[in-house]
Amino acid sequence: MITIFENASVLDVEAGTLLPDRHVVVEDGRIREITEAPVAAGDARRIDVAGRTLMPGLVDSHVHVTAYSANFTELQRTPPSYVSAAAGAIMGGMLDRGFTTVRDVGGADFGLARAVREGLIRGPRLIYGGKALSPTGGHGDVRPAGIDAHDDAYNQPGLGRIVDGVPAVRRAAREEIRRGAHHLKIMGNGGISSPTDRISSDQFSEEEIAAVVEEAEMANLYVVVHAYTARAIKRSLKLGVRSIEHGNLADEDAIAMIKERDAFLVPTLATYRALKDEGVEAGLPAELAAKIDDVLDAGINAVEMAHRAGVTMAYGTDLLGAMHRRQLSEFSLRSGVVPAADLVRAATINGAKLMRMEDEFGQVKPGLSADLIVVEGNPLEDISVLTTPDTHLKLVMARGTVTRSAL
Ligand SMILES: [Zn+2]
């Protein structure tokens, strides 16, 4: 099966330029070639792009596809069957916004990834790490302080699991690897949606973090850390963590260290804005809302510092429940401090590099998976082209299949 996109302006994300009048041939789910001359192929399906922009499908490197609610205590008590159905709806929405790959950093598993692969669920390619590892009382511990019991059945839905001590942490890491994890996620300090922790507290001992890093590296994987404070970021980097999530309270030192270690920063400004505006309505317990202010305004400063220091940033959103519709707002929120070409890179090639899958997706390039979108206008000149899919997103192709088209 051959599809030819004709008369396309191809966005070269590496160079940050548009290449006009190109013809892109897709065969068996992959990009076969990009030519300047029209391509003769008898029975190919032809799509006239009419000068619009053809670019790689978007990559969101920080999602939780099972988070149908912002109330994690509630999520944990919901039947897995319901959560899977809700995740299907959430992933379909992502695909319709132009995301063809997402990296789930807590909650998704091999079952959901398989359902997407087999076409049972409409959705982006799902890169997952299973459940995030958290110490007792950490960001993955959803028990209010008055509750001692917890159901640790693995199939109980939830973004995290509680593990304490080096042997338990190693075992949990090995279990996630056994279930096909693409990375391991740990909670490195407090978070907003967890009922009993403080943003300023570090989580896990150095020995525990080092053990997870060792297990990941033995399997040629990497570790992802939930971290806000400069202290937690530096501690994680020192112990070999490669992907820093959020990073709102980073200082210049922490940013320099991310750069020096060739690590990645995945800011998620979208979720703090969303939580502030409508978090409680979406299920966030009202008593946790005060924690949002600790990180909301600082987030943009961290992004600005990171951009200035040349840190590689990926696009992340971390949205929960009904707030998922704001998935494209991260572009707007960063646009005051990051140029459009870098925003596009964050949401394409940088995400692919972060996942070590740059030979699979993230560019319009021969040999790569045909994960492509067509947009009206030039996102390098006006990033709002990407944030307004109703009017500007004309086509989505995921792994060679057109999933949405207005052409
Ligand atoms: Zn998250």
Q: What is the pLDDT of residues 215-270, one digit of tens each?
A: 999 999 999 999 999 999 999 999 999 999 999 999 999 999 999 999 999 999 99
Quick: pLDDT tens for 169-193.
Answer: 999 999 999 999 999 999 999 999 8
Is the pLDDT score of 152 beyond 90?
Answer: no
Q: How far is the CA of 63 from the centre of ligand 1 (A)?
A: 6
- Distances, alpha carbon 11 to alpha carbons 8, 17, 54, 64, 124, in Å: 9, 6, 6, 28, 20
**pLDDT value for 204:** 98
Q: How far is the CA of 184 from the centre of ligand 1 (A)?
A: 13
Q: How far is the CA of 68 from the centre of ligand 1 (A)?
A: 13
Residues around ion ligand 1, judged by CB within 5 A, are 318
Q: How far is the CA of 213 from the centre of ligand 1 (A)?
A: 19
Q: How far is the CA of 36 from the centre of ligand 1 (A)?
A: 42
**pLDDT value for 153:** 84
Is the pLDDT score of 393 beyond 90?
Answer: yes
Tell me the pairing of strands 53-56 and 372-375.
antiparallel
Q: How far is the CA of 193 from the centre of ligand 1 (A)?
A: 10
**pLDDT value for 41:** 80
Task: For residue 75, give the 3-state DSSP assignment.
Answer: helix
This prediction's pTM: 0.97
Mean pLDDT computed over 332-349: 98
Q: How far is the CA of 71 from the centre of ligand 1 (A)?
A: 13
Residue 149: phi, psi to the nearest 5?
-70, 150
Mean pLDDT over the full length of the chain: 96
Give dist(CA 21, CA 2) in Å, integer. 19
Mean pLDDT computed over 315-340: 97
**pLDDT value for 154:** 85
Q: How far is the CA of 41 from the centre of ligand 1 (A)?
A: 46
Give dist(CA 400, CA 2) in Å, integer. 9
**pLDDT value for 11:** 98
- Exposed / middle / buried, residue 159 (Cβ in 10 Å: 0-12, 13-18, 19+): buried
Give dist(CA 156, CA 66) in Å, integer. 12
